[in-house]
Chain A
Amino acid sequence: MEFSTFLVQCLNAVQYGLLLFLVASGLTLIFGIMGVINLAHGSFYMLGAYLAYALAPLFGGQFLLQMAAGVVLSVVFGFLLEWVFFSYLYQRDHLQQVLMTYSLILVFEEMRSILAGNDVHGVKLPEWLSGAVALGDLMKYPVYNLFASATCIVVALGLYYVVNRTRLGMMIRAGASNRDMVRGLGINIRLLYRIVFAAGVALAALAGMIAAPVTSVYPGMGGQILIICFVVVVIGGIGSISGALIAALLVGLVDTFGKVLFAQFSGLSVYLLMALILIWRPQGLKSKGY
């Protein structure tokens, strides 16, 4: 492989990895703080993608506005979902959580089928994002992919800032370490959980919105990303956001180069990576702290 091709593939890998990070960070937050294993997390990603498809005609070409609206809608949805359903899961054991969130996936998939049909949909891009940038004389790289990566980086930095530099972040980190103590200190743990959950939903939905023009919107997209995110969280360590970032980039690299170098085994490569990490460190790369 020539060096220029290698660099472009790295670019592809990083873009995919950053997208995975957005979804995985939500998953690891929800588990780390609330102790809820949420199999329906992939459905939020799908929700974001379908939102992008559904909102497009309403917002014309106002892409940024459309994304903002989508984020707001998903936060509201997350709030409601936590209030109506997830808050009942905190006290239950993992098996019940697994079963109820798995059944929730079935419900979401069918709701999607009823509301949005089963066709594959493309999401059009606004003019200013539709171009391509020449990378030497090898090929042109879509501007949108660069935009997607940039957005993910901005969100990641925002997440870092919130978690490490704000009071809310402090409460989140405290709640992850010792839930009861936090409650004992008089902090409204219920509201905290609701905020964290809504944030997790929004992160996944945002990832879906960003990915939609690249991956298209199709049934089953939630399930695919969920399992890869599980791998990311296992490799990175549950509850660790920085671990999720490193793991996501690693998975992106392995997956992208796997697709090019061993086409037939590319699906396996990510799981082999996970198996190797498990042999070396069963608790993940960064299992404690943020």
Chain B
Amino acid sequence: MNIPLAAAGLHQPLPPSKTRLLPLVILLAACLLPMLLSEYALDLVVKIIIYAIFALSLELLVGTTGLISLGHAAFFGIAAYVTALLVPGSGPGAILLMLPAAMLGAGCYALFVGALSLRTQGVYFIMVTLAFAQMAFFIFHDTGIGGGSDGIYLSSRPAFSLAGIALVDLELPRHFFFFALGSLAAAYLLLAAIQRSRFGRALAGIRTNEQRMRAAGYRTYGYKLAAFVIAGMLAGLAGFLMAARTGVVNPELLSWHESGAVLLMIILGGLGSLRGAVLGAAAFILLKEFYSSEAIFAGFAQHWQLSLGLTMILFVAFLPHGLIGLSRQRIWNRKQSPAAQGGAHV
């Protein structure tokens, strides 16, 4: 029984006009953060930014097109590995070379996976995307391409130089912060533009009722594949940033737990909303920090996954519109049905 997402009422309408400038305001406020926060806190914000880009890329697939992918981390990880493998022996690598290469690598694998998985529907699709992500995981985990299960570390972070002067040097935390922030803004704008374009409308149509779109003459396979590849490339952008941030890449970046986490992020924030994706990433990471904080939970902090898992179950059960839905005062109608009928229905 598969109720299409839109019919399930999980989708948000476009944001109210009063708050249309909110993302811009937040962006400007974020520019002040390097001066206000400690090194550790700034690092956390950078992590949130990277995962926000990752979540946005999945939002295009799940929220806009209705394709539930459980293997999105593969593109994230592949881009990270491409970045690490392209680090030159001496001196910093060039962003202009490594970033496009990383995104291209992710995009190629997305093309391969999409071409095969989009031949399947529904639950098959979910399982197949998961399986292909595992395949990529094993490529890096078992073979000699990466450093096996321990991963490889980057001996230097990339930079953008003109005539020998490094204009953007990702070794410097400030430069990195603004580069990441800029990437997030770019990704957000791109997706907003896609959502409003004909292409985006077609994707929304496919999400609502693919049969009808096909009847109307759209070659849905092509549209879905395009969305899959774009989403993969955007995840690649996040992967590049992740590799540059930590300086070490590791097969766990492609694990299905990473895929599961990013899926939880967009639900936490609110499906179908770009702001939701960003908000969800922030909320998820902060929740994780909170639950694993020994200062608050002492011994139980090591079991943060339990707290997080229970929180997410409650969230999906009672607040399927996510945090964005909460803020938009959407009260989810619960049909009161006897327990014998099973749970609530949207």
Contacts A102-B260, A107-B313; A278 near B128 (Cβ below 8 A):
yes
Stretch in B44-52, B129-137, B222-230 touching the partner: B129-137
- The interface residues of chain B lying within 8 Å CB-to-CB of A104 are 309, 313
B254 lies within 8 A of chain A by Cβ: no
- In chain A, residues 82-123, which have Cβ atoms closer than 8 Å to a Cβ of chain B? 87-96, 98-100, 102-107, 109-111, 113-114
Beta-carbon contact of A274 and B5 below 8 Å: no
Beta-carbon contact of B142 and A100 below 8 Å: no
Beta-carbon contact of A265 and B143 below 8 Å: yes
- CB nearest neighbor in A for B340: A190
Q: Which of A90, A107, A274, A283 contacts B1 (CB 8 A)?
A: A90
B38 lies within 8 A of chain A by Cβ: no
Q: How far is the CA of A284 from the CA of B303 in the complex (A)?
A: 39
The interface residues of chain A, by DSSP majority, are classed as: helix
Beta-carbon contact of B264 and A233 below 8 Å: no
Contacts A37-B123, A99-B316, A274-B131; A268 near B138 (Cβ below 8 A):
yes
Q: Which of A103, A268, A284 has the most CB of B within 10 A?
A: A103
Beta-carbon contact of B317 and A268 below 8 Å: no
Beta-carbon contact of B313 and A100 below 8 Å: yes
Beta-carbon contact of A98 and B138 below 8 Å: no
Beta-carbon contact of A103 and B131 below 8 Å: no
- The interface residues of chain A lying within 8 Å CB-to-CB of B144 are 264
B8 lies within 8 A of chain A by Cβ: yes
Contacts A37-B126, A102-B263, A234-B124; A114 near B138 (Cβ below 8 A):
no
B30 lies within 8 A of chain A by Cβ: no
B23 lies within 8 A of chain A by Cβ: no
Beta-carbon contact of B123 and A238 below 8 Å: yes
Beta-carbon contact of B120 and A278 below 8 Å: yes
Beta-carbon contact of B2 and A238 below 8 Å: no
B312 lies within 8 A of chain A by Cβ: yes
B122 lies within 8 A of chain A by Cβ: yes
Given A89-B343, A99-B312, A223-B257, 20 other A-B residues pairs in contact with their CB atoms under 8 A:
A91-B343, A93-B3, A94-B68, A96-B320, A98-B68, A102-B260, A103-B309, A104-B313, A106-B308, A107-B306, A107-B309, A179-B1, A227-B131, A227-B134, A230-B131, A231-B127, A238-B123, A264-B143, A265-B143, A268-B138
Q: List 18 A-B contacts (CB under 8 A).
A: A96-B320, A99-B312, A100-B317, A103-B264, A103-B313, A105-B309, A106-B308, A106-B312, A107-B306, A110-B303, A190-B340, A227-B256, A230-B130, A234-B124, A266-B142, A271-B132, A275-B132, A275-B135
